[in-house]
Amino acid sequence: MRRNQPALFRGRHFGAEIIILCVRWYLRFGLSFRNLEELIVERNVSVDHVTIWKL
C-alpha cells in the first residue's frame, strides 16, 4: 500500500506519476484522450481513454 500520498491522489487507481504525466501532456500539447491512451499504453500501462477523461 502506498503511504504519504497527497490528498488529491488518495483513492485513485493510477499512481500520481501517471496522472501528472497525462495532465501535463494534455495541457502542453493539446492531445486528445485517445492520443493520451496510446502514449500511456506504449509505456505498458493498461488504460482506456474514458478513464483518462475521468481523472
Distances (CA, A) of 34 to 7, 14, 18, 52: 27, 17, 15, 9
For residue 31, the enclosing domain spans 14-54
Specify if 7 maps to a domain.
no
pTM (2 d.p.): 0.68
Q: Is residue 19 part of a domain?
A: yes
Q: What's the confidence (pLDDT) of residue 2?
A: 55
For residue 33, tell me if it sits in a domain: yes
C-alpha cell at position 16: 500520481
Q: Domain tally for the chain?
A: 1
From first to last of its 55 residues, what are the pLDDT tens digits of the chain? 456 666 766 666 777 788 888 889 989 998 888 898 888 889 888 877 777 776 6
Please check whether residue 2 lies inside any domain of the structure: no
What pLDDT is attached to residue 29? 93
Identify the pLDDT of residue 54.
67
Give me the pLDDT at residue 20, please. Answer: 84
Asked, for residue 27, whether it belongs to a domain, the answer is: yes
In a domain, 5, yes or no: no
Q: Can you tell me which residue has the cell 488518495?
A: 10
Please give the grid coordinates belonging to residue 39: 502514449
